[in-house]
Amino acid sequence: MVKGKSQLPKSQSGRRHPVITGKQAASSSPAQTASKAKAPKQSLMSCSGCGIVITDDVKALQCDRCQGTESWKCADCLNIPADMYDHLVADPNCSLRWFCIICDKAAMDLDNNSCSKIDTLVDLVEKLLEKLSTVDSQLNEKCDVEIVNQLEAKVKMLEDRFEQHEKEHTDKLSTIEQKIRDHLVEGTRRQTSDDQNVNVGAVELHQDAVEEVARRIERDNDIEKRRNNIVLYKVAEADAEDVADRNASDLAFVTELLDNIFKMDPARHGISRIFRLGRRDYSSDSPRPLLVEFSEQKSKEQVMSSLKYLRDADIPFKGISVAHDMSPWQREEIKRLVEQAKREHARASTEPVENYWFRVVGKGVRMRVMKVKKKVKPAQLQSVAATE
């Protein structure tokens, strides 16, 4: 509440009682003079602006903070009208405060420090919320399939280190194959012309070795050709009769998939060609697999490393699956490894084979099977309990 100097009460005639001056005090009685002499001497209060002495008839305000005798200021120096001053002093519910220059500066410094601390606390809370959101997002993304993807990525890193060595071995095998063929042809010619007692068994053995080397080279070349390919399943086919129109529709779908789901730069897709596998059966509702060939392997790697985004995709990408373009030998080898792993599991464990995923990772001779336990949903647990 504003502190002000109380004003003299008005008489019935509307005038304030006069203030006793020094001359009037001199003409007072001796008893009154003696009593005033015994009273303690009080320091005079004056306006800190103009220096006027603050008496009962002077309209003035005192600092609400320090309330010192030197912290008064008259209404004229404060530029406060008389009616406003009377209202401020008379209103008991007034919450306004007046501070002197020193107290006002101290209050402003305290307010600035408080604002600075509040800003620091707000920044700290925002950082904590951001970290909490990141941790929550990471926890939501973690599952067994993600672990498998991480393991596959690590295996791929190891495979890349041996990729150069495999290429060198392929070149060496090609050179050895050519030398063996030349040697066999030359040896066969010499044995046919000079010696009729040819060791047929040895020649057949050499021929079998050459054929085996040729098969392996052909197999490796087939795998190398499919290295930058992916196969999309459950992609709807266009009803256009013209093949060019259907291919254009498939290309537009794949481009939109790479842009919206896998967040790939449209200028760097590097799609070499795209076509459907197999002859179209108009009586079947199942679409043919769609093969996409990239010009660079890194484009395919970016797609395969971002397959987790397909789980939450909306129509028309919902339900789409992506796989490597496997050669016939790779498909047969994967099938053989999975069947072998299932037989070993059935022999060594009492749990049903259906409770596990069997995933093949690696390439070439380093392919192996990883066994991951499936997550059982609550509805499945209730059905199993009911049957028991």
The helix (H) or strand (E) run that includes residue 100 is none
147 neighbors 308 (Cβ within 8 angstroms):
no
307 in the same domain as 333: no
pLDDT interval class at 365 (50, 70, 90): low
66: its two tokens:
């320090």
More confident residue, 117 or 28: 117
The lowest-confidence range among 127-141, 193-207, 225-239 is 193-207
Q: Do the domain assignments include residue 337?
A: yes
252 in the same domain as 304: yes
Q: What amino acid is encoded at 353 in this protein? A: V
334 in the same domain as 302: no
* The pLDDT value given to residue 149: 75
264 neighbors 257 (Cβ within 8 angstroms):
no
Distance of CA 358 to the CA centre of its chain: 31
Show which of 209, 225, 241 is a domain's final residue: 225
User: pLDDT by residue (tens digit) across 30-83?
Assistant: 444 444 444 444 567 889 889 898 888 888 998 988 888 788 999 889 988 988
Show which of 300, 325, 350 is a domain's final residue: 325
Cα separation, 289 vs 118, whole angstroms: 60
Q: Do the domain assignments include residue 196?
A: yes
Q: What are the DSSP E strand ranges found in the chain?
A: 3-4, 60-62, 72-74, 229-233, 271-276, 290-294, 321-324, 356-361, 368-373
Q: Do the domain assignments include residue 4?
A: no
User: pLDDT by residue (tens digit) across 312-347?
Assistant: 888 888 888 888 887 888 788 888 888 888 888 888
More confident residue, 104 or 30: 104
Cα separation, 65 vs 103, whole angstroms: 7
Q: Give percent of the chain with pLDDT exceeding 90.
A: 2
Q: What is the mean pLDDT of residues 105-116?
A: 73
The helix (H) or strand (E) run that includes residue 5 is none
Instruction: Tell me how far apart the terminal alpha carbons of the chain are, to the nearest angstrom.
Output: 81
Q: What amino acid is encoded at 382 in this protein? A: Q
DSSP per-residue codes, 284-296: --SPPPEEEEESS
Q: Do the domain assignments include residue 106?
A: no
CATH number assigned to the domain comprising residue 269: 3.30.70.1820
* The pLDDT value given to residue 111: 63
310 in the same domain as 356: no
* The pLDDT value given to residue 4: 63
Q: What is the mean pLDDT of residues 178-196?
A: 74
* The pLDDT value given to residue 74: 93
358 in the same domain as 373: yes
* The pLDDT value given to residue 289: 92
Q: Do the domain assignments include residue 37?
A: no
In this predicted structure, the answer to whether residue 89 has a pLDDT above a threshold of 70 is: yes
317 in the same domain as 253: yes
* The pLDDT value given to residue 193: 62
Q: Do the domain assignments include residue 53?
A: no
Q: What is the mean pLDDT of residues 275-304?
A: 86
Q: Do the domain assignments include residue 27?
A: no
Q: Do the domain assignments include residue 297?
A: yes
* The pLDDT value given to residue 29: 42
231 in the same domain as 166: no
* The pLDDT value given to residue 340: 87
More confident residue, 19 or 266: 266
The lowest-confidence range among 95-109, 295-309, 374-388 is 374-388
* The pLDDT value given to residue 206: 79
How many domains are contained in the chain? 3
281 in the same domain as 214: no
* The pLDDT value given to residue 385: 43
Which range in 11-25, 82-96, 98-112, 242-256 is most confidently predicted, on average pLDDT? Answer: 242-256
Residue 326 burial by Cβ neighbours in a 10 Å radius (0-12, 13-18, 19+): middle
In this predicted structure, the answer to whether residue 273 has a pLDDT above a threshold of 90 is: no
User: pLDDT by residue (tens digit) across 129-175?
Assistant: 888 888 877 776 665 567 767 787 888 878 787 786 778 788 888 88
pLDDT interval class at 27 (50, 70, 90): very low
Distance of CA 388 to the CA centre of its chain: 45
234 in the same domain as 306: yes
* pTM passes above 0.85: no
* The pLDDT value given to residue 47: 92
Domain coverage including residue 346: 327-388
232 in the same domain as 321: yes
SS (H, E, C) 294-334: ECCHHHHHHHHCCHHHHCCCCCCCCCCEEEECCCHHHHHHH
Show which of 201, 225, 249 is a domain's final residue: 225
The helix (H) or strand (E) run that includes residue 20 is none
Mean pLDDT of the residues in the chain: 76
Q: How many of the other CB atoms lie within 10 Å of CB of 190?
A: 11
251 in the same domain as 231: yes
186 in the same domain as 247: no
Q: What is the mean pLDDT of residues 270-291?
A: 86
